[in-house]
Each structure stands twice: as C-alpha cells, then as structure tokens.
Amino acid sequence: MKKLLTLLFTLVLTAGCLLGLTACGDNKGSNGKQTITVYTESGFAPFEYLNENGEVVGSDIDLMSEICEILGYNLVVKDVAFGAIFTNVQNDKWAVGAAGITVNAERSETGIFSDSYTTSVQYVIVKKGTFSEADLTDGKIDLTKLSGKKMGMQESTTGCWLIEDAVDGTKDDDENHVKGELEGTGASYIEYKNAVVASNDIGGKIDAVVIDELPAKSICKNNSELECFQINAEPESYAFYLNKEATELLSNINYVLAKLKEDGVVDYLINKHSGAYNLAK
Ligand code: GLN
C-alpha cells in the first residue's frame, strides 16, 4: 500500500514538474531529479545518530528519505554543527534542516517551518543518586533543583537557552532585568557540540546535561552510571526548517507529512530507532 502511494506521488509530481507546475531547480542528480540537501547534527539519537559504519541514520533521516522518494527528489545528508544548520538552510532554497528542531518565534524569523511531526520536553541527565524522590514534583525536576550545578548543553538549542535564561536572567518588554530561577545560586553552564560529548564530562567538568527527552533517554540507556529526569518546562514541537523562499517545497512536504503521520509512519520510525545510541564521540 505504502509502495503504491509512493509510486502515485512520484508520478503525479514528476508530471507536475515536467509541466512546470512545481519548482524545478538546477541542482539535479544524474537521474535528472532535483537534489534536496538535508542538514542535521548526528548527536541526537533516535532522530539522527551515527551507525557503526559512521553513516548518519535515524528517524529524521528515514522520514526525509521517504518524503523525498514520494516527491521525486534525490536526498543528500550533511552532518554539521547544530547552529550551522540554520545558516546553511538560509543560503539554499533546496535545503531542509532535519534535526529534532523545535519550532520557536526566533527561528521563524529566519526560515519557515513544516507542520510539526512530534513533540518533546527537556530532560536533565545526572549521575545516579544525585536526586531522590523528594526532589521531584509530579515526577519532574523543577529548575530550582539545579541550583549550584555546573551544566553542559548542546550549543544553540532550546535546552541551552532554557538554562542560560535561568542562570543569567532575562529582560522584560521594558528591558528590565528579570531574575532567573538559578541566578545567584552558583549554577553555571558550558556549551558542547552535542549532548553525547557533554555526557562524557558528567562527574568531572560538569554535574548535569540538559537535552531533549529521547536523546537523554538514549544516553542514559547506554550508560549505567547515569539517569535522567523530566524538567518542569513547556513542551516543544519538532518540525523541518526550510528556506523562506521554499514555500512550494514546504507545501509539498506538509502534504506528504500529513499522510505519513496519519498512517503512523512517523511514530513507527521514531520507535524503530529508539534505544539506538550515537557512536560518535
Ligand atoms: N529540540 C532542540 C532544539 O531545537 C534540540 C535539537 C537538537 O539538539 N538536535 O533546539
């Protein structure tokens, strides 16, 4: 059934492209198809990670492959620093950022987001025994429980901004300083390439790592000295990040994404890769 759907979409879109109905760019592969460059950061299992052969795999990669196959595009994956995903996409209208990217207002100013395909929450990873039941409220850790802790976060991520705001404080609309939950507690932070690299320093340079739920669970599942807890903070939605000019590509991606969500393909792919561990150091 899925194969049939794929074939149908390919035929419709190839015909559309030939008739000039869809945007056909110059960057074509030897098969004559337009190439989509997917930018990602491979330290974020199960969404993207390196397998034993050093290839970037994961549910975001499978999802984009499926979408590109249905839409009749070639797919090239580029593994870059997380913050560089955004600038690369801003410079290429045939690029897509697929990296468990949280939709937010700041990023929406520089690019456009597809419909959301899943949600997440922030987690904190610590050495076992750091927190007890008494530290939890409804099974979650309040930010204030991170008082005095040295934290490691992946650069340019929502987890990083959550901790930065809590440690340094924020500004209100009148530019007045608003004290952060961790300000003045001795809490501090260091930025890392990704959470896998950061987690190697827990118990050494840092006490904790803050990162999204499934990557945190993947790290803890593969390190018996570590455990993770949900932070009491707002849930986040993941979507693909596109160049502002790529409005037609965006609607095509959204069209296919809706079908893949409806058919349970997105959840299937996330489950398929869950438990996988990033082998990159
Ligand atoms: N969801 C987080 C963000 O968008 C982290 C993504 C990631 O590290 N790949 O900032």
Task: Compute the distance between CA of residue 163 and CA of residue 188 in angstroms, rounded to an integer.
Answer: 9
Q: What is the pLDDT of residues 39-50, one digit of tens each?
A: 999 999 999 999
Q: What's the gap in Å between 162 CA and the centre of ligand 1?
A: 12
Closest CA to 159 of 128, 183, 189: 189
> Which residues, judged by CB distance below 6 Å to any ligand atom, belong to the binding site of ligand 1?
41, 44, 82, 99-102, 154, 157-158, 212, 236
How many other CB atoms sit within 10 Å of the CB of residue 206?
Answer: 22
Q: What separation in angstroms does the CA of 26 have from each of 23, 34, 64, 126?
A: 10, 7, 20, 49
CA angle 197, 114, 165 (to 5 degrees): 45
Share of the chain above pLDDT 90, in %: 85
Alpha carbon of 82 to ligand 1 centroid (Å):
8
pLDDT digits 0-9 by tens, 114-145: 999 999 999 999 999 999 999 999 999 999 99
Q: What is the mean pLDDT of the chain?
A: 91
Structure confidence at residue 30 as a pLDDT band (50, 70, 90): confident
% of the chain at pLDDT higher than 70: 88
List Cβ neighbours of 28 (8 Å cut-off, separation of 6 or more).
Answer: 34, 35, 74
* Under 8 Å between Cβ of 144 and 179: no
Cα–Cα distance measured from residue 153 to residue 199, given in angstroms and rounded to the nearest whole number: 9
Quote the ligand 1 centre to 251 CA distance (angstroms).
23
**Residue 4 CA, ligand 1 centroid: distance in Å:** 34
Tens digit of pLDDT for each residue in 46-90? 999 999 899 999 999 999 999 999 999 999 999 999 999 999 999
Please state which of the ranges 18-22, 56-60, 118-122, 225-229 shows the lowest mean pLDDT.
Answer: 18-22
* Phi, then psi, of 63 in degrees rounded to 5: -65, -45
First to last CA, the chain: 40
Ligand 1 atom nearest residue 41's Cα = 9
DSSP assignment of 49-83: EE-TTS-EESHHHHHHHHHHHHHT-EEEEEE--HH
Instruction: Kindly report the protein residue whose alpha carbon is nearest to atom 10 of ligand 1.
Output: 157
Q: Whose CA is nearest to atom 5 of ligand 1?
A: 157
What is the structure's pLDDT at 273? Answer: 94
Query: Which ligand 1 atom is nearest residue 99's CA?
Result: 9
Nearest CA to ligand 1 atom 8: 157
Tens digits of per-residue pLDDT, 142-194? 999 999 999 999 999 999 999 999 999 999 999 999 999 999 999 999 999 99
Structure tokens at 47: 């969404």
